[in-house]
Amino acid sequence: MQKKGNSKELEKAREKGSKFLGEFKSFVLKGNVMDLAVGVLIGASFQGLVNSFTTNIISPVLGCLTEANFNQYTLHIGNLYLTYGAFITDVINFVIMAFVIFVLVKSMNILEHLGKKPEKKEEPKRKSNEEVLLEEIRDLLKKQKGE
């Protein structure tokens, strides 16, 4: 008897498992998830480019102005070393990435609106003479009831 009970429970668990896997498969294969994955991968690659640009081009140029390697600026407080030059480099990276994303979003919005025709504003529908007369009659009847 225990075998029959166990087999029913096992069958229910298999059904739940296959249903769960089916839901997961449909979720993963939706376009939004794939678009998000591609965006994350491109964003990570782009971040590497921006980091390289900042480290190899911007930091040395700023270092020429101060005659030192910008990334190696540190503040010594006792045994503590604060590398504020690396932090400033990261802030520059952030500003560059934020600016590029702003330009991309702005460009996409412009491209989106290029293909659309401007919407025509509909004028309010004019009432026919019959509707105007019927409304006047209704208003007069309301006045008579109120008296």
Is the C-alpha dihedral spanning 68, 72, 75, 76 positive or negative? negative
H/E stretch holding 8 = helix 2-28
Block mean pLDDT (10 aa), the chain, length 147: 67 83 78 78 86 80 71 84 84 84 86 76 80 88 80
Tell me how far apart the alpha carbons of residues 80 and 61 are, in angstroms, rounded to a whole number: 28
98 vs 28: CA distance, rounded Å: 29
Q: Which two tokens stand for residue 142?
A: 């309301």
pTM of this prediction? 0.48
Structure tokens that stand for 110 in this block: 């412009």
Specify the pLDDT at position 69.
Answer: 66
**Which residue ranges form the domains of the chain, and what is each CATH number?**
2-118 (1.10.1200.120)
